[in-house]
Structure 1
Amino acid sequence: MPDTSALIARILERAGSPEAGRARLALLLSASQTVTRDLDLTSALQHIVEVARELVGARYGALGVISPDGRLERFVHAGLPEEEAARIGHLPTGRGVLGAVITEGASIRLDRLDDDPRSVGFPAHHPPMHAFLGVPVLVGDTAYGNLYLTEREGGEPFDDLDQAIIGSLASMAGTALANSRLYEQARAERRWLEASERLSRRLLSGALSPDALDEVAETALAVSEAAGVEVTLGAGPGAISVRAGRCDEEPQRRMTVPLIGADDTEAGTLTIVRGAAGHPFTEADRETAARFARSTTIARELSASRLDEQRLALADERDRIARDLHDHVIQSLFAIGLSLQSVVGDPTTPTGARLAAQVDAIDATIRQIRQAIYRLSVPPSADSYSLRARINTLVRQTLEGEGLDSRLEFSGPVDTLVDTSLGDEVAAVIREALSNAVRHARARFVAVSVAVRGAQVVLTVTDDGIGMPAAVRRSGLENLRARAVELGGTFAVGAAAPRGTQLRWVVPWKAE
């Protein structure tokens, strides 16, 4: 693109008269001023499009902006009446020549649009467009959109001066977008910070279990406005991964930051996924996500430590109560029983029979207290606090040392609606399914999903093994089927795509 003085000289030369030249320069100046004067981005871009159309004598002009995840974020146009635009319906989606301007990051000038092999045609009710000039709107080295004009007055093609003028206006649009991105980045950092504070408060107050990785993933997905998020604890076989959104989209852009704890050790990773059409991740994106990951990880560690302290304190208190019951209450009852036995006399007399019955009652009470002492002596565990934590522990312990990669997903109010009794059934089904995957399937990967959907608990276990061998004993699967039927649910097992086995166990979380 020529320098500013050369561009002005050429604009004045084409104008034909000093008055027309001054009018054109005034238009260019107004477009430049709107970048700093107009706080509304859409209004500023609309003015740039209108100036561009007038400066090069185009009948139609438009500017499209894509968001970081690749979707059309803004689309402003000039020259096409609103009623005609309404009849066309859908806005351009960035395919064909328009998409090429963005993906190639270079200007495209065509005498006839429909002669280009990249052209994909027009929708119904779209006016004919022949001559085409498209210029990328750059923020740094990345194309965030395109400014394009069609149908020059008199049917003439666009020339290099037109391209220089539109390139200058596209630079102005890029400046407006860059300012907008800086503002959006500040807002995004604030969203990440507020989300991190909310998660930390819930973790430290005990309102959220430190094993509730799905909450971390869903929060990161919401504030990042990405296609998908994956949170992984551990590494290699035995690692636990929880996903939110669309993480399997191909092709894709990925950004992974470590989950760093208070002692600077890495506990896992946080991965954010954008579609291939989305913008590349910036260093600012990485720093913001890394701060969120570190803050959340430290809060999880503190929450887990506090729970451990509470459980230890509870275990100590239970031990003290058990000792007091054994050393004082039982001994006193035992002494009372011996004293009564010594005065029972003839148990066939009314008084003797009553005394003997009281001795038996004391013996029964002593047995009940001994049972209570035994229950008090069993230390509390994380299983009694959260079904999510229980399943996390079960999957990790079952697959530890087996050389399998795994993924564990929770969806819906699992801890809230699944009571202890049904939780025992869910744990038993998962244990049997994982055992089959380890012993028979020759699998390298197994995925476990526990979801509460409506009135049902839906449990799915999928592996990538050899499928269901014909010779395998079916007693375990029949037990799972029987459990489902007894609870008013269903059970199915079949082939997974592209290979392996999928088990699906569905029961109501609340009896009718």
Structure 2
Amino acid sequence: MSSMSEDPGRRSRGTGRGRGTGSPTGGAGEDRDAVLQAVSSAVLAVTRHLSVREVLQVIVRSAQRLLDARYAALGVPDEEGAFAEFVAEGISDEEWEAIGPMPRQHGMLGAMLREGAPVRLPDIRRDPRFDSWPRAHPVLKDFLGVPIRDGDRVLGIIFLSDKRIPGGFTEADQRLLTVFAAHAAIALTNARLYERSRELALVEERTRMARELHDAVTQKLFSLRLTAQAAASLVTRDPGRALGELERVERLAGEALAELRAVIVELRPAELDRHGLAETLRKQVRLLDRLHPASFTFEEHPVCVPDPATEVAVLRVAQEALHNASRHAEAGTVAVRLGCEEGRVFLEVRDDGTGFDVAAAAGRGLGIASMGDRAQALGGSVSVTSEPGRGTLVRMEVPV
């Protein structure tokens, strides 16, 4: 069997300290409502995230708690016989270091990837598909593994070992994990689509940037260079003409600077040109509302007509605030408001999530500084109001 270890650069380590909350299938007289509630809580925990890495980690953590297992792991295969991702819970940092790198797809995990069927065993060591473990690997006994499938394609394998309640994993456990894996497949697919859409948007913007720089600025700089060379060759034999050429150099340099600024303004998402700021924001909020368990809403007040640079800045701040809310806030509702007050465009992104200490979060990658820089460049401001347990409000104001 493939071990719970992996390549150190790609694996995610569990704390090795948390216990499960109790198996919902541990007793013969189990209450059906309790089982459904446990599955619902686990599914909501998974679908709350849009980052693929976070989704994988939460799938493993939720499955471990759902079935009260000591160990849980999830492997996502690559095209080269190894694992593109491998995350686990129940292994300490010291154990990870001792286990070493992840073997390639072989043993029990390799068999499950090939066969695409659940496996439930009282003792994995007695199964002929079992291979071996690294020396420092924990000894596993009872085993339950289920494929995470998208149609006929196996996205990954989730497996649990060493159930804390005596007796090992039951048929009811297997059914429960299979249901959970089906929901996890949807969450994983959505997260991949979301990340892919962000990547495509970046590629589109970079392609447009290269085209605009080539068409608008490169030719002007080439003319400027030729003119400067001509001026240099005339300095000694015809100073009057050289002065004229230098004046032309100055004019071309000014035109190039103006065109470069125009290109920067025009480097904006194509959606802004097609739909405008309000409708672009409405579409993005609607997409998040479909993909995320929280409720995302958009409210538009009378909106003045901002210039192109302001539209880009407001959209980027909104995207950053929404990204933070969807990944970190654990919110039930996220509300976006866009409007105009007293000659200023305003944007608000408010959530009812966990909140945070704004001062302590400075410089920790939440994008607060970059949001403020965008607004200040246009003579505006961004304020972030939050406290632990009281949600977060991001408000941007920019003069029209």
RCO comparison, higher one (Cα < 8 Å, 6+): 2
Could you say which TM-score interval applies, normalised by the shorter chain?
A: 0.3 to 0.5
Q: Which has the larger radius of gyration?
A: 1
